[in-house]
Structure 1
């Protein structure tokens, strides 16, 4: 089976749930369809991400949602990694070590 067809592992599922919760909380009272449209995704995709049913959204989707929600990408990265959101910005060191 190809890597892209494999089921996500439990850590990836939990990371997706954290990210979905962050997007849901950040969206707050904003209309989901408006946010989804602004991010370039369907409202159904936004719903799946927010509910943790899409544990590994694509990078472009995450970037689009961050832009639509005026959410720093670093914050989303820290939440995905399970780090406190008060961590210093991720540097150009090649990622998380």
Structure 2
């Protein structure tokens, strides 16, 4: 197993669940690529401002805080389409995959 890979962590679970909602591979529609790039940049900036580099722990903490905020606002992932929250979670999942934290 690769160092830093945690098969049962929140990033892995969410990546499995949200991977069903949108493509996280190499064949994405151009609009989806642009949206996820913007969301990923915002996540990287937020983590860098709070704690420095992206690590499994810093990305997991970001995800926990983001999901807490979503729940407080009453958001749930069963809506149709790609709302702002879904795109942000997909971007977090893509970052986790790019950094080797999930498969």
TM-score by length of 2: 0.36
TM-score by length of 1: 0.38
Give the structure, 1 or 2, with the largest relative contact order (CA under 8 Å, sep 6 or more). 2
